Amino acid sequence: MIAGKWKPLILYFLLQGPNRYGALKRAVRCVSDKVLIQQLKELESDGVVLRTDHKEVPPRVDYTLTPLGRSLAEALEPLCIWGVENMDAVARVLADREAWKQGPSG
Amino acid sequence: MIAGKWKPLILYFLLQGPNRYGALKRAVRCVSDKVLIQQLKELESDGVVLRTDHKEVPPRVDYTLTPLGRSLAEALEPLCIWGVENMDAVARVLADREAWKQGPSG
């Protein structure tokens, strides 16, 4: 349900309150429209996120967490905080892996 | 660092204390030796798990969390508990997805 590079972050930001697509896109930096829309659709079909179209002109659509989504986001929050607090250690691990893949010539 | 079907569970059980390979295999049910050994190796090379060979006869090897691993496991624990508490909801989501993939004939 949270497989997908951006889903934990999407849930983390939606925990802060209902969010318009544009605000989510700015919060979850470096994600493409195509991927963000796809992952929001998956979260919606999994019953984790609710998409509300307010039928206004100009169009107003926002995303909120369902009760299941809220409980999942709250369970994920410590992990997101851990990721921020240990960003250097994680970056070092990923760099070591990359160097290891390249082999001696790398 | 926790990508991999069994890694969160491995960390969750290692949080309970140092563990021999056999105990881990029993705790993390349904995992093959090949996969469990591979994921333990990855966790070890990522500096999350420490493998200690006590150089005894018969051989005694156990796995413990490094400080980085412990902090990660503690951050993951709420998510593991969420998974257990919401197992039915997650099973329903996965079943819906499966049915959706099969299409009308499914």
CA of B67 vs chain A CAs: smallest distance (Å) = 12
Q: Which residues of B touch A76 (CB under 8 A)?
A: 78-79
pLDDT of residue A98: 76
Would you tell me which residues 34-53 of chain B have a C-beta closer than 8 angstroms to some C-beta of chain A? 45-47
Are A86 and B78 a contacting pair at CB < 8 A? no
pLDDT of residue A28: 85
Residue A104 has pLDDT above 70, yes or no: no
* Residue ranges per structural domain of chain B: 7-102
Q: Which residues of B touch A101 (CB under 8 A)?
A: none
pLDDT of residue A17: 79
Is the Cβ–Cβ distance between A1 and B90 less than 8 Å?
yes
Residues A43-91: pLDDT tens digits?
A: 999 999 999 999 999 888 899 999 999 999 999 999 889 988 998 888 8
Size of interface A-B (CB pairs under 8 A): 50
pLDDT of residue B55: 92
Give the residue ranges of chain B where pLDDT is below 50: 106
CATH of domain A7-102: 1.10.10.10
CA of A94 vs chain B CAs: smallest distance (Å) = 8
Residue A96 has pLDDT above 90, yes or no: no
Higher pLDDT, A18 or B35: B35
From A68, A77, A96, residue closest to B89, measured CB to CB: A68
User: Quick one: three-class SS letters along chain A?
Assistant: CCCCCCHHHHHHHHCCCCEEHHHHHHHCCCCCHHHHHHHHHHHHHCCCEEEEECCCCCCCEEEEECHHHHHHHHHHHHHHHHHHHCHHHHHHHHHHHHHHHHCCCC
Write down the mean pLDDT value for chain A.
Answer: 87
Higher pLDDT, A36 or B106: A36
